[in-house]
Amino acid sequence: MDYRFSDTIDSFKSSAVREILKLTQGKSIISLAGGLPNEQYFPIDAVREAFLRVFEEGKQVLQYGLTEGYTPLRQSIAKHMERKNIHVGVDDMLITTGSQQAIDLLTRVYIDPGDIILVERPTYLAAIQIFQSHKARIVSVDGDADGMNLIDLEQKIKQYNPKMIYVVPTFSNPAGKAWSLERRQGTLDICKRNNVLILEDDPYGELRFGGGEALPSIFSLDKHPHGSAVLYTSTFSKIVAPALRTGWAIGDPDVIRQMTRAKQAADLHSSTMDQQALHQLFEHFDLYSHIDLVRSEYETRMRQMADLLNQQNWPGLHWNEPKGGMFIWIELAEEIDTEKLMKLAVEEGVAFVPGVSFFADEPKRNAMRLNFTHTDYEQMKEGFARLDRAIQKMLQTV
Amino acid sequence: MDYRFSDTIDSFKSSAVREILKLTQGKSIISLAGGLPNEQYFPIDAVREAFLRVFEEGKQVLQYGLTEGYTPLRQSIAKHMERKNIHVGVDDMLITTGSQQAIDLLTRVYIDPGDIILVERPTYLAAIQIFQSHKARIVSVDGDADGMNLIDLEQKIKQYNPKMIYVVPTFSNPAGKAWSLERRQGTLDICKRNNVLILEDDPYGELRFGGGEALPSIFSLDKHPHGSAVLYTSTFSKIVAPALRTGWAIGDPDVIRQMTRAKQAADLHSSTMDQQALHQLFEHFDLYSHIDLVRSEYETRMRQMADLLNQQNWPGLHWNEPKGGMFIWIELAEEIDTEKLMKLAVEEGVAFVPGVSFFADEPKRNAMRLNFTHTDYEQMKEGFARLDRAIQKMLQTV
């Protein structure tokens, strides 16, 4: 049999992170590479209780569900969103298999081959993969620690006439940025003026460090879902647990309806066991105290990694302390190609993600993403010692 | 905001069945329309036990999983497939969110816009939707109670050079057919000779009536997954429960690898809670006795519906007793348009699916699909009385 695959398969490259995870499986490698939440803080007893409550409701809990998602869960999420000053009803919402699927479904209904999507530089690598798989053209917009550069954004909109812009304004992956209010409002204004849809991906918004006030989502600045220029997506993966694979998209009911039809074709609906359990969790578990706990533990780990970084004298080392999320983005001297460094690092027994993975174009070759949530301080220290050895080895050759 | 949706959205029509289900929600309508398994036979205690066993393994059960699927579940499914004379390893398999997602992912990696897919006439309506959403051209092949007409198949392959053929050879939806061995082998031979991939969808294969020997899947006739002309998919929805949304695809490891990459972009992985629970179910529950129970109960219901059909004198009534599955396909006199009949039927308080939904081209307007698994005999009798009134009303107007 001579298989005749479609033209798109070239775009389904396996994610670099996942390939690295495979490399490290079963080996005694300390991974600062993954984007894994820490198992220690999974509320397993509450999740178990939640599932038991679902089973108490009888056999019908095992039946097919609505493509839109389990209605009581959509109501719970709407209530949850109120805390973020987002006011939506169940018809403005679609439950997805993680927020990853929300990105895929929106791309499926909104992007034709050759359409342009603007992204941050750097940006979330799986989003790049999704956009490429739909044959979009991806163009990066410059930015700094406060978010996208609004002048460059407006200029690239004029130059490329993009249909969509993809942003992670709150504790971005990989850069750990928190956009300023001015950049959020500016991006919204520019996109509305130019009829460009904003896909606001917010998986990390709850993981805010420092106890300050939360910055408003771009979606909430746009006030009302009807006619909104923003499609917002988030997930339970970082605040409850990833195994439940439950995310949600909110936006204009027309956009949600189109995504729902695409989902009906793609997989009919997401696991209703997980959706029903999450609804029970909202009803019977103090999710917000739990989020506070996770937030505080992750902040401790971030500070531990920051201390370790402060002790290094790696050439050109530059980084900003993240205001939330799961990652620190570091840059090294120009001559340090982190893809080459990765091989030495794995030999030494430590892994990270080379920065090049996070660029749609003009990649930075001297950057890397480090995860601070999944290792304890002892591992982290040992990981840094190994990373230091790898960097010293590399410096001897460049 | 003036949304600029992609060209594909016209193809995401909402499924007729699901629209009908919405119509009937909360009303006292007897639905013979859905494709719902009967809740009464969901093994809820065993599923509950299985989830509890998963939670006993500790917090890591809530972490991210592999895109390919939970490895012990893939091993359990491989063992399950041995009973069907299918011999595969974990690398020949991908876990999907229902078999629906397997169809979508294969189409995503195999079909370019304009490519031709051959299907049965009639065929599974959601498959038509998926193929259309990927802008495939769908061409129907003639058939009879024994399966596809091999002469028409070969002729259409020569005429259209299709990349793929989609079949449900074992207790098809909607027609309830079981293909003969000769048609299975013939289809395989013709497709291999012409380099046409066979997508064999087998959601109902276990629901066999009459206690006879199972017919071999087309995949098993092709012997070995490597280089196979067949991509086989099945699901737990009909033998355990739909809420778990777990299906699987097996085939050549190259095809599986491409589908896995597409899945990585689409949703990273399916719910690992459900996957782990299903593995525990295989380990600690007598799934095969349970399947026997479901099979026998569904056969009883099928015979009850057959009796009711035998009592009707609807003009032109023609149907074949299904050898398994969940549906009876009936044809009426030419002048009875079942889409028009549907409106009268809903007024009388009964629903079915008009046959027109199941055709990619040249639809039969005088057919309908009746589900016999989800109603008890009393409801079924009342449903038939209502359907009879609707038909009599219609006959007065034609």
pLDDT for the residue A397:
82
Tell me the average pLDDT of chain B.
94
Residue B194 lies in a domain: yes
Domain finish residue from B259, B284, B309 = B284
Q: Are both B97 and B241 inside the same structural domain? A: yes
Please report the residues numbered 29 through 48 in chain B whose beta carbons come closer than 8 angstroms to any beta carbon of chain A: 36-37, 39-40, 42, 44, 47-48
Pairwise pLDDT comparison (B224 vs B123), residue with the higher score: B123
- Say whether pLDDT at B16 is over 80: no
Residue B1 lies in a domain: no
Across A48-73, average pLDDT: 97
- Say whether pLDDT at B1 is over 90: no
What number of CA atoms fall less than 13 Å from residue B141's CA on the CB side? 28
Q: Are both A95 and A122 inside the same structural domain? A: yes
Residue A203 lies in a domain: yes
Q: What is the domain-level CATH number for residue A363?
A: 3.90.1150.10
Q: Are both B32 and B97 inside the same structural domain? A: no
Cα separation values, B7 from A107, A319, B4, Å:
12, 43, 9
Q: Are both B154 and B246 inside the same structural domain? A: yes
pLDDT for the residue A34:
87
pLDDT for the residue A13:
64
8 Å CB contact of A112 and B8: yes
pLDDT for the residue A214:
87
Tens digits of residue pLDDT in A355-382 = 999 999 899 999 999 999 999 999 999 9
Residue B212 pLDDT class (50, 70, 90 cuts) = confident
Range from A24-28, A389-393, B143-147 carrying the lowest mean pLDDT: A24-28
Cβ-contact A173, A204 below 8 angstroms: yes
Helix residue spans in chain B (DSSP H) = 16-24, 44-56, 71-82, 98-110, 125-133, 150-160, 181-193, 218-221, 253-267, 272-284, 287-310, 338-348, 377-397
Query: Is B213 in the A-facing interface, judged by CB distances under 8 Å?
Result: no
Exposure class string for A169-194: b at 16+ Cβ within 10 A, else e:
bbbbbbbbbbbeeebbbbbbebbbee
Judging contacts by C-beta atoms under 8 Å, the chain B residues touching residue A115 are 6
Please report the residues numbered 86 through 115 in chain A whose beta carbons come closer than 8 angstroms to any beta carbon of chain B: 96-98, 100-101, 104, 108-112, 115
Rounded to the nearest angstrom, the minimum Cα separation between A310 and chain B is 31
> Which residue's entry shows tokens 């603007």?
A118
Across B149-164, average pLDDT: 98
8 Å CB contact of A258 and B112: no
- Say whether pLDDT at A15 is over 80: no
Residue A2 lies in a domain: no
Quote ipTM for the complex.
Answer: 0.95
Query: Is A158 in the B-facing interface, judged by CB distances under 8 Å?
Result: no
Quote the domain boundaries for residue A320: 7-42+289-397
Helix residue spans in B321-376 (DSSP H) = 338-348
pLDDT for the residue A14:
60
| Rounded CA separation A108/B6 (Å) | 7
Pairwise pLDDT comparison (B11 vs B203), residue with the higher score: B203
**Which among A284, A327, A272, A326 is positioned nearest to A55, based on CA atoms?**
A272
Domain finish residue from B266, B284, B302 = B284
Residue B52 pLDDT class (50, 70, 90 cuts) = very high
Instruction: Tell me how far the alpha carbon of residue A312 is from its chain's centroid.
Output: 28
Residue B229 lies in a domain: yes
Tens digits of residue pLDDT in A222-249 = 988 999 999 999 999 999 999 999 999 9
Q: Are both B192 and B73 inside the same structural domain? A: yes
Across A305-324, average pLDDT: 96
- Say whether pLDDT at B24 is over 90: no
Residue A88 DSSP SS3: coil
Q: Are both A301 and A350 inside the same structural domain? A: yes
Task: Give B199's strand partners.
Answer: B166, B231
Name the burial class of residue A28, with classes exposed (0-12), middle (13-18) and buried (19+) by CB atoms within 10 angstroms of its CB. exposed
Query: Is B68 in the A-facing interface, judged by CB distances under 8 Å?
Result: no
Cα separation values, A282 from A179, A239, A279, Å:
29, 12, 5
Residue B2 lies in a domain: no
8 Å CB contact of B98 and A241: no
Query: Is A5 in the B-facing interface, judged by CB distances under 8 Å?
Result: yes
- Say whether pLDDT at A281 is over 90: yes
Query: Is A12 in the B-facing interface, judged by CB distances under 8 Å?
Result: yes
| Rounded CA separation B345/B30 (Å) | 10
Task: Give B119's strand partners.
Answer: B140, B166
Residue A168 lies in a domain: yes
Chain B: residue whose CA lies nearest to A228:
B1
Cα separation values, B23 from A233, B326, B351, B382, Å:
29, 22, 10, 19
Q: What is the domain-level CATH number for residue B163?
A: 3.40.640.10
Pairwise pLDDT comparison (A313 vs A7), residue with the higher score: A313
Q: Are both A226 and A369 inside the same structural domain? A: no
Q: Are both B297 and B235 inside the same structural domain? A: no
Q: Are both A205 and A85 inside the same structural domain? A: yes
pLDDT for the residue A213:
81
Q: Are both B153 and B180 inside the same structural domain? A: yes
Element at A110 (helix H, strand E): helix A98-110
Pairwise pLDDT comparison (B137 vs A9), residue with the higher score: B137
Mutation target to probe the A interface, by most A beta carbons within 10 A, among B6, B47, B125, B275 is B6
Judging contacts by C-beta atoms under 8 Å, the chain B residues touching residue A9 are 109, 258, 261-262
Tens digits of residue pLDDT in A115-165 = 999 999 999 999 999 999 999 999 999 999 999 999 999 999 999 999 999
Domain finish residue from A266, A284, A302 = A284
What number of CA atoms fall less than 13 Å from residue B239's CA on the CB side? 25
pLDDT for the residue A38:
96
Q: Are both A169 and A244 inside the same structural domain? A: yes
Q: Are both B268 and B166 inside the same structural domain? A: yes
Residue A13 lies in a domain: yes
Q: How many domains does chain A have?
A: 2
| Rounded CA separation B128/A63 (Å) | 24
Share of chain B above pLDDT 90, in %: 88
